[in-house]
């Protein structure tokens, strides 16, 4: 399933071309409404074609450029995987589409770069988190945002307790399994069975063995997440979760865990259940950013004027940017003269949503962007930017 990641967003942000087509539309996960998606996308492709022709492209060339989108209209498997929204990005040498976990309005833009503002709340507000889905029979590490989930390949982490204790025994001769013989109860003295001592055989579920298992997982995670400060959610039954907390050395393990056996859940289901446990973490970061912004009011380091924010973002001046969700202003920016021209709508290829432009340029130049509810923007404006200088 094509779910948006930060790497995808970075690729889209950096793309520049003579023609970049961005299409957004609501979608439906199931039911008769899914059939409407084909008609909706067909109509949006026709709108894009009309705009291309109006901009000067010959009709056969416009039809050829839009061919990948028209193929999606006929793709049954594509329509069986829908979520709540859909985003499509097309240029002469790039074609990407993403299933979105939120509703988006119908939108078509043709410009020199992709329109990305509707995607920013999915990543800027919700951030990155990890889930350790742990049981005695299975270990999975999931890299998640609200919009996406990716299972990480485990190279230095055991996949089960039996695997962990097998190698633990091999590496530590003092704990290798030993045996002696004992008569079977109710039989003659010649009937014997082997009695095992140590761990790894018949005794995997003892607390010392589970603790060693968890310590091995923690060592692998410490290496995997050594440069991370993202929250880690533990998913597992209470018994093994409590033992894992004894072994844990990762500083950002959340206090709340996802209870129950994660083996019966898909990665998507685990991500969906785990997100509410970390949501407050990302809201906290937003609130800290608002608090940080406050003392700079009246110092000349802030602006709420889109005509000032656009060149500031382009020139790398914006450290922190707040934008009201849904705010837009069409226009053009001339980087040579460092000037903004306001437009009433996207009448030409050079016209673009200046809020989208400001957000993208801020990210490209290392700033932080928060797309927030209108009443969360400092100074009661649709935009508030903190300048580096």
For the residues of 271-282, what is the DSSP string, one character each? HHHHHHHHHHHH
Angle of the 6-14 helix axis to the 354-364 helix axis, nearest 10: 110
Residue at 196 is within a domain: no
Q: Which of 131, 229, 212, 125 is nearest to 169 (CA)?
A: 212
Rounded distance between C-alpha atoms, residue 368 and residue 386, angstroms:
10
Answer yes or no: are the C-beta atoms of 241 and 234 closer than 8 Å: yes
Q: Which of 51, 43, 53 is nearest to 73 (CA)?
A: 43
Mean pLDDT of the chain: 86
Q: Quick one: what percent of the chain has pLDDT higher than 70? A: 86
* pLDDT for residue 193: 34
Domain boundary among 230, 248, 279: 279
CB atoms inside a 10 Å sphere around CB 317: 21
Per-residue model confidence (pLDDT) at position 373: 87
**Mean pLDDT confidence for 193-222:** 71
Average pLDDT of the residues in 296-315: 96
Residues 223 and 355 in one domain: no
pLDDT at 125: 53
Let me know whether 275 and 134 are in one domain.
yes
Residue 306 above 70 pLDDT? Answer: yes
In 256-353, which residue ranges form alpha helices assigned H by DSSP? Answer: 267-293, 306-314
* Residue 364 included in any domain: yes
Asked whether residue 249 is domain-assigned, the answer is: yes
C-alpha 15/C-alpha 12 separation (Å) is 5
Which pLDDT score is estimated for 295? 96
What residues contact residue 351 under an 8 Å CB cut-off, 6+ apart?
111, 330, 331, 332, 343, 345
The domain spanning residue 222 has which CATH number? Answer: 3.30.420
For residue 124, the model assigns a pLDDT of: 57
pLDDT for position 283: 83
Give tens-digit pLDDT for 353-368.
999 999 999 999 999 9
Is a pLDDT exceeding 80 seen at residue 2? no
177 CB-contact burial (10 Å; exposed 0-12 / middle 13-18 / buried 19+): middle
Query: For 149-163, what is the mean pLDDT?
Result: 88
Cβ–Cβ < 8 Å for 201, 134? no
pLDDT score at 178: 38
pLDDT of residue 258: 96
Residue 158 in contact with residue 216, Cβ under 8 Å? yes
Same domain, 158 and 263: yes
290 located within any domain: no
CATH classification at residue 70: 3.30.960.10
Binning pLDDT at 50, 70 and 90, where does residue 15 land? very high
The reply to whether 158 and 63 lie within a common domain is: no
Q: Is 379 left (phi over 0), alpha (psi -120 to 50) or beta?
A: left
Q: What is the pTM of this model?
A: 0.68
pLDDT category of residue 150 using cuts at 50, 70 and 90: confident
Percent of the chain surpassing pLDDT 90: 63
Q: Which domain holds residue 310?
A: 297-387
Same structural domain, 83 and 133: no
Strands in the chain per DSSP E? 20-26, 85-91, 94-100, 107-111, 129-134, 139-144, 149-151, 178-183, 192-197, 232-236, 258-259, 302-303, 318-324, 330-334, 339-342, 352-353, 368-372, 383-387
Q: How confident is the model at residue 175 (pLDDT cuts 50, 70, 90)?
A: very low
Query: Is 121 within the bounds of a domain?
Result: no
**Residue with more model confidence, 202 or 326:** 326
Separation CA 333–CA 314 (nearest Å):
10
Question: Do 113 and 34 contact (CB within 8 A), yes or no?
Answer: no
Q: Which residues contact 249 (CB under 8 A, 6 or more apart)?
A: 218, 222
At 262 the pLDDT is: 96
Distance between CA atoms of residues 177 and 2, nearest Å: 47
What is the predicted pLDDT for the residue at 271? 93
Kindly tell me the sign of the dihedral angle through the C-alpha atoms of 268, 269, 271, 275: positive
The predicted model gives 236-260 an average pLDDT of: 96
Q: Are 135 and 267 members of one domain? A: yes
Kindly give the interhelix angle for 238-247 and 207-224, rounded to the nearest 10 degrees: 60
- Residue 201, domain member (yes or no): no
Burial class of residue 263, CB neighbours in 10 A (0-12, 13-18, 19+): middle
- What is the phi/psi pair of residue 46, to 5°? -65, -40
pLDDT > 90? residue 244: yes
30 shares a domain with 92: yes
Q: Residue 187 has what pLDDT?
A: 38
Given 279, 313, 329, which residue is the final one in a domain?
A: 279
The answer on 314 and 264 residing in a single domain is no
Indicate whether 67 and 147 sit together in one domain: no
Q: b/e per residue, 348-363, with b = 16+ CB within 10 A?
A: ebebbbbbbbbbbbbb
**Burial class (CB within 10 angstroms; exposed 0-12, middle 13-18, buried 19+) of 340:** buried
User: What is the structure's pLDDT at 126?
Assistant: 58
Domain CATH number, residue 339: 3.30.1330.30
Measured from the Cβ of residue 60, the count of other Cβ atoms closer than 10 Å reads 8
Q: What's the total number of domains in the chain? A: 3
Q: Is residue 133 domain-shared with residue 111, that is, in the same domain?
A: no
Task: Specify if 212 maps to a domain.
Answer: yes
Q: Which of 63, 89, 115 is the last residue of a domain?
A: 115
> Do 133 and 273 share a domain, yes or no?
yes
368 and 257 in a single domain? The answer is no
Asked if residue 122 is part of any domain, the answer here is no
pLDDT tens digits for range 70-113: 999 999 889 888 888 999 999 999 999 998 877 899 999 999 99
Helices (H) and strands (E) in the chain, counts: 12, 18
Q: Please give the pLDDT value at position 186.
A: 38
- The whole-number average pLDDT for the span 304-321 is 97
């Amino acid at each position: 399933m094509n779910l948006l990641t930060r790497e995808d967003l970075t690729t889209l942000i950096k793309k520049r071309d003579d023609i970049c087509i961005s299409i957004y539309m609501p979608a439906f996960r199931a039911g008769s409404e899914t059939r409407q998606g084909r008609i909706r996308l067909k109509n949006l492709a026709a709108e894009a074609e009309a705009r291309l022709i109006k901009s000067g492209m010959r009709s056969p060339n416009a039809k050829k450029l839009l061919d990948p989108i028209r193929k999606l209209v006929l793709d049954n498997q594509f329509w069986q995987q829908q979520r709540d929204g859909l985003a499509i990005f097309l240029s002469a040498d790039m074609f990407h589409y993403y299933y979105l976990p939120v509703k988006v309005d119908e939108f078509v833009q043709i410009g020199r770069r992709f329109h990305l503002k509707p995607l920013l709340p999915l990543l800027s507000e919700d951030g990155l988190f990890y889930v350790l889905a742990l049981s005695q029979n299975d270990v999975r590490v999931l890299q998640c945002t609200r919009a996406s989930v990716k299972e990480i390949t485990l190279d230095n982490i055991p996949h089960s307790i039996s695997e962990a204790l097998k190698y633990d025994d091999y590496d530590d001769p003092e704990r290798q399994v030993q045996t002696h013989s004992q008569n079977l109860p109710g039989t003659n003295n010649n009937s014997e069975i082997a009695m095992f001592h140590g761990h790894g055989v018949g005794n995997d579920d003892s607390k010392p063995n589970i603790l060693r298992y968890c310590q091995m997982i923690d060592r692998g995670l410490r290496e995997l997440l050594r440069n991370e400060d993202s929250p880690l959610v533990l998913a597992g039954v209470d018994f093994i979760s409590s033992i894992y907390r004894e072994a844990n050395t990762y500083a950002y393990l959340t206090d709340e865990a996802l209870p129950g056996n994660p083996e019966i859940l898909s990665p998507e289901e685990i991500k969906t259940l785990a997100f509410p446990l970390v949501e407050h973490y990302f809201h906290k970061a937003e609130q800290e950013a608002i608090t940080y912004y406050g003392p700079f009011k009246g110092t000349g380091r802030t602006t709420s004027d889109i005509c000032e924010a656009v060149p500031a973002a382009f020139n790398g001046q914006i450290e922190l940017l707040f934008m009201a969700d849904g705010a837009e202003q069409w226009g053009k920016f001339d980087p040579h003269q460092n000037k903004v021209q306001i437009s009433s709508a996207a009448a030409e290829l050079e016209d673009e949503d200046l809020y989208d432009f400001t957000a993208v340029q801020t990210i490209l130049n290392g700033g932080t962007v928060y797309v927030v509810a209108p009443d969360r923007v400092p100074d009661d404006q649709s935009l508030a930017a903190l300048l580096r200088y």
